[in-house]
Amino acid sequence: MKPLSPGSTIGVLGGGQLGRMLALAAARLGFDVVVMTPRADDSAGRVAARTIVAPYDDDAALAALAEVADVVTFEFENVPAEVVGKLQALGVETAPGPRALAVAQDRVEEKTFLNAVGAPTVGFAVIDGPADILPALDKLGAPALLKTRREGYDGKGQTWIESHADAHAAFDRIGRRPAILEARADFVREVSVIAARGRDGEVACYPLAENHHEGGVLRRSSAPTKASAATVEQAETIAARILTRLDYVGVMGVEMFELKSGRLLVNEFAPRVHNTGHWTLDGCEVDQFEQHVRAVAGWPLGPTTPLAHVEMENLLGEEADAWARLAAEPEARLWLYGKGEARAGRKMGHVNRLRPLKG
């Protein structure tokens, strides 16, 4: 594909805050964004040039999107992988392609792929029914984490199993769905790397972020975080393997556990821009959203050099009501997502607090 000229149209499947920030970045480079989302009042539609409101599997809507878009990307990894295949069949380029989505959507496929490309993970076992849990617990040890294979995010669809006696109840708690049992990662901290791959195969990684979750939801990221050269090299090697083996185009977030030994285990990867990369909006020469737009448009990747140290804090639910106080903080950059209803735990915005890089 030739690099897209400014004035071209980028289609985005999904209408959340990630789509919104992609649309803002795309607009700055002269592109128009068409968002396709099932919900009319979504965050991204408010800043996109056009919104197609339809379910992702609506054939007429997909045809309309393919008609206007020069390339289609997504901001939401639970878009059915077949939809991306359909768009390709309609003759429109998609980036990333359907394989990255299909692998990331199933935790068993994902871990199997990761191990095959030399990206280590915790031990795991496939759970098709409660009878599979006891032998898996014997193999992996207790406590272990039972997660649905598909459609889990932000800590949803997962539950700890403390002992054999809890196995059946745990399977009920996740809705008796096909699952994976994961050994507990005995980590000292959680880190992530935001990595990009261009159409020419070039890979660029941002500095590592250290992440803090509460109840499975990201609360804060701090970046660039202190890490040894060996840790950074491991993270970048892992990211490059994943991107290259998927023939990936675009930005990806790779979440990892750092063990006491310094070894990194991959928890999961997200085939899209990522919450732990929001710090780049104010902390880097080119942020993750512009980087993704550059990659999918076939432009050269931009520099990932950090310009400041950033503490990123998610604003959940009513926390975003403090916008006036936050806006008055001199070192804070406020990002609000234009969502109407501040339901408890809903990601309404984030704040990046900047300080100079040391040395």
Which residues of this chain interact with ligand AMP, rule CB under 6 A? Answer: 122, 145, 152, 155, 182, 184-185, 190, 213, 216, 267-268
Residues in the chain: 359
Q: How far is the CB of 184 from ligand AMP (least distance, A)?
A: 4
Report, in Å, the least distance between residue 303 CB and ligand AMP: 29
At its nearest, how many Å lie between ligand AMP and the CB of residue 251?
18
**How far apart, in Å, are the Cα atoms of 195 and each of 11, 47, 168, 270, 302?**
21, 25, 39, 11, 12
Residue (215 or 330) nearer to ligand AMP, CB: 215
Are 306 and 324 in contact by the 8 Å Cβ rule? The answer is no
Residue number, 301 or 312, with CB nearest to ligand AMP: 312
Contact 213, 187 (CB under 8 A): no
| Shortest distance in whole angstroms from residue 120 CB to ligand AMP | 12
127 alpha carbon, distance to own chain's centre: 25
Q: Which is nearer to ligand AMP, 145 or 348 (CB)?
A: 145
> Which CB atom, from 184 or from 346, has the smaller least distance to ligand AMP?
184
CB of residue 209 vs ligand AMP: minimum separation in angstroms? 13
Q: How far is the CB of 156 from ligand AMP (least distance, A)?
A: 8
Nearest-10 Cα torsion for 59, 60, 62, 63 = 120
Please answer whether residues 130 and 146 qualify as being in contact, where contact means their C-beta atoms are separated by less than 8 angstroms: no
Instruction: Identify whether the C-beta of residue 169 lies closer than 8 Å to the C-beta of residue 233.
Output: no
Q: Compute the distance between CA of residue 147 and CA of residue 87 in angstroms, rounded to an integer.
A: 30
Which of 53/185 has CB closer to ligand AMP? 185
3-state class (DSSP) for residue 87: helix
The one-character DSSP state at 224 is S
Residue 166: count other Cβ atoms within 10 Å of its Cβ. Answer: 18
Q: With respect to ligand AMP, which residue has the nearer C-beta, 157 or 302?
A: 157
